[in-house]
Structure 1
Amino acid sequence: MVRSIFERRYLFKNTLVQMCVFDYNNPIVITFSPAGYLLQEDDLDRGKNAWSYSFLKENRINVLSLNCVKSKHWFLENGLEEKLTELAKEIMIFPERIGYGVSMGAFALSNYHSVFNINKMLLITPTKPPFEIEFEFEFAKDFTGDILLIYDPFFPKDRNFALSYSSNTTHFYCYGVGHRVVETLSEIGLLKKVVLSFISGIEIYSWYYKSLKGRRGIERYYSFLLRNPTGKNSKNRNRIIRKKYILFIINNPGLLMTKWKVKLMKSARRINIKLRGNYD
């Protein structure tokens, strides 16, 4: 059993807030959930935790996690910034504040880094809201700490966002998987090592790219490259990718079935949520 000296969980409007402290002499990691990890009321009733909270808690890392509930409000709902300012005062006691966010969560960290006085950030595929916002998002250009940013440079949208960050940003690539970088790192067993190494300040570069070879063992790598995301593939290159993809499918016949099963389950969940909303 993981024992902490302090733990808190509550709902602020449509944002779940969870905090766990093991040692006030160690850093605290601040996380915001990605769009793909949206909690519903029944999730809260079952005690489901905010994105990354369980992982960090199990590794005895001080953590403050925030998660969207019911709607993808991109952590821009009314009153939230004031609440975050209150939370920030509580965590100033820690020697270091580290941000970790993916996609929508990376946007939120970039937006609120000054509120929490964050020292360094691990951002994976940061993006922007798909709607108009009332302020000009500056991609944390005023951030003076270190940023490690991981994305697929073959995916133009994410590449453009990544290049908008400040010059003190270190860029790590995860080629050929599009926006699904965090899922890919997780699938090849690399995500945990990257996150824990970053938090601990352990050097990553020497082993990161060697470990990336594992992405050749997942279906996403081939299917995404076949889309010719950069528009620069020659006919011969497309032919080579298609051949390797076919060989991959032949050698892994069960993977496509699993992929479609997961898609069907997600579709069923979305339909169930919409139907439930119509009867509320």
Structure 2
Amino acid sequence: MDKHIIFEDEHIRTIFLKGSSKELIVSFGDLITRAKGLTINAEKSLEKFQYNVIGIMPKEKSWFPESSMKNMMAAIQDYLAPFKTRIGYGGSMGGYAAIKYSNLLDLQRVIALVPQFSINPQDVEDLRYNMFYHADVNHDMKIKLEDVSKQREYIVVYDPYYDEDVAHYIKIKDIIPHLRTLHLHHTGHDAVAILASSDLLNSFLTHEFNETYFYKKIRQVKKNSKFYYRKVIENLLPTHSHSLGKILKNNDFQVDGNFFDSKLKQSLIRSLFSNKQVDQNDLKKLGLQINVPQEIRNLLLDDFGHGLVFNVISQKIESYASNAIALNHKFLIPIYAKNTGLVQIYLNDERYIVAMNDRHVMKLFKESEDLGLGMHPLVIKKYSDYFAISYKNLNLSSDEFGGNAFVEEMPETAKFINEPES
């Protein structure tokens, strides 16, 4: 593989990758794919199709300063000269640079995924990137009319529901009225990861622009992208929680157990248990593996009429409506009480004690098992007309959304009753 550095300063490293194509691809790195050895952004995909490539990789989070780019141009003319067809590609910071320097590099086509217009807070207020703006390095950095041309083709991919990127897109569109646009709905700023496909990249670079063709290619890539499903789930869950069941039912994907952070994972579990019957395959797709417990018969009700359960997936005491518990009885284990004693559940024909530490981390222990250091059993206390669940001097209190917290007082929300006999 013929690859070597052709320019370098404190801000950028420029690398030439020799191929056999008549086109020259100018590939810009981003905040994630910064300069590292001889690595070029999207290198595997570009090399697969034997493209000649100039990779411009940022060494700092400095958005390709104009002074560096002009110095680079003076140094790489011999590498540019043989190629009449030059195509720019990049995402985010790299997408910005591909547009900004399209005239300088004489690019015939530019593919920019979720690009910025500027990181100068006076141009666009964007808390994600304004912190990286430095007047001495990025002075007058916004994309201007003199940076672009009507004779060049510009293709931008972005999420029209993601306000931060929309703000940049509107300003870019004002400068480039003939801009070609492809929407990637409900994906936020993750277009680069979601659209990572050598075949799609090849189409972006050389196929004549046709919306129907490109959207078909994008759909094919999205269908096999776990990043796409994560972003869609993350964005739709707060307002369209019923959509989660449809996504799981209609799509074939699987992520590992660390793919969703703990907060989103708990929201996913709650949405599933509240809106549909959960099966093992649903949980497998979401990277959730558990031992299926034995079914239990009783419920202890909170002040809102919800059943108190131990969620074996989130490993927490929570409250759910009775129909949600009935649908998901393998995962939501009711907590029941007759007398004062320890909080216990039955799991795989064995009795477990529910214990917690001062950081409110809950854990199950078999009756015969030693408690872990710092762990204390939760206690059920029976009073004349209600039960309470306590940890040291704190009492479990439920809220109307099914959440539970330990408080010092004994409010009505900390009083639980047995399910009335039917």
Match status 1:76 vs 2:95: no
Q: Distance in 2 between matches of 1:8 and 1:56?
A: 16
Q: Distance in 2 between matches of 1:192 and 1:204?
A: 19
Match of 1:222 among 233, 251, 267: 233
SS, match of residue 238 in structure 1? coil
Match of 1:207 in 2: 213
Q: What RMSD, in angstroms, separates the aligned Cα atoms of the two structures?
A: 3.0
Q: Is the 8 A contact 2:159 2:189 kept in 1?
A: yes
Match of 1:57 among 38, 44, 47: 47
Structure having the higher Rg? 2
Q: How many residues align?
A: 233
Q: Is the 8 A contact 1:18 1:53 kept in 2?
A: no
Match of 1:195 in 2: 201
What percent of counterpart residues are identical? Answer: 15
Q: Is the 8 A contact 1:96 1:119 kept in 2?
A: yes
SS, match of residue 94 in structure 1? coil
Question: Per the alignment, do residues 108 and 22 of structure 1 end up closer, same or farther by CA in structure 2, a change over 3 Å counting?
Answer: same
Match of 2:112 among 123, 126, 130: 123
Q: Pairwise mapping of residues 86-165 of structure 1 onto structure 2 (< 5 A)?
A: 86-88=75-77, 90-127=79-116, 128-129=118-119, 130=130, 131=133, 132=135, 133-135=138-140, 137-138=142-143, 142-144=148-150, 145-163=152-170, 164-165=172-173
Match of 1:181 among 191, 215, 218: 191
Q: Distance in 2 between matches of 1:83 and 1:119?
A: 19
- The Cα shift of 1:137 comes to 1.2
Question: Per the alignment, do residues 253 and 151 of structure 1 end up closer, same or farther by CA in structure 2, a change over 3 Å counting?
Answer: closer
Q: Distance in 2 between matches of 1:10 and 1:119?
A: 22
**Higher RCO, 1 or 2 (CA under 8 Å, sep at least 6)?**
1
Match of 1:270 in 2: none
Q: Distance in 2 between matches of 1:100 and 1:61?
A: 13
**If each structure's helix is expressed as a fraction of its own residues, which one has the higher value?**
1
Q: Is the 8 A contact 2:156 2:179 kept in 1?
A: yes
Q: Is the 8 A contact 1:98 1:199 kept in 2?
A: yes
Match status 1:167 vs 2:167: no
Q: Deviations over 1:238-260 (max 9, x none)?
A: 34235557x57xx9775342455
Q: Distance in 1 between matches of 2:245 and 2:43?
A: 41
> Is the deviation greater in 78-87 or in 122-131?
78-87
- The Cα shift of 1:105 comes to 0.5
Q: Deviations over 1:81-100 (max 9, x none)?
A: 22234324641321211111
Q: Is the 8 A contact 1:152 1:158 kept in 2?
A: yes
- The Cα shift of 1:198 comes to 2.8
Q: TM-score, normalised by structure 2?
A: 0.49
SS, match of residue 60 in structure 1? coil
Q: Distance in 2 between matches of 1:117 and 1:151?
A: 24
Q: TM-score, normalised by structure 1?
A: 0.71
- The Cα shift of 1:20 comes to 2.3
Q: Is the 8 A contact 2:113 2:157 kept in 1?
A: yes
> Is the deviation greater in 150-159 or in 252-261?
252-261
Q: Is the 8 A contact 1:51 1:65 kept in 2?
A: yes
> Is the deviation greater in 51-60 or in 102-111?
51-60
- The Cα shift of 1:136 comes to 5.0
- The Cα shift of 1:112 comes to 1.5
- The Cα shift of 1:11 comes to 5.8
Q: Pairwise mapping of residues 243-262 of structure 1 onto structure 2 (< 5 A)?
A: 243-244=245-246, 247=248, 254-259=255-260
Match of 1:233 in 2: none
Q: Distance in 2 between matches of 1:201 and 1:242?
A: 35
Query: Which portions of structure 1, spanning 4 or more consecutive aligned residues, are displaced by more than 6 angstroms?
Result: none
Q: Distance in 1 between matches of 2:141 and 2:66?
A: 16
Q: Deviations over 1:102-148 (max 9, x none)?
A: 10001112222121111111111001332253115135673221111
**If each structure's strand is expressed as a fraction of its own residues, which one has the higher value?**
2
Question: Per the alignment, do residues 85 and 225 of structure 1 end up closer, same or farther by CA in structure 2, a change over 3 Å counting?
Answer: farther
Match of 2:27 among 15, 28, 31: 31
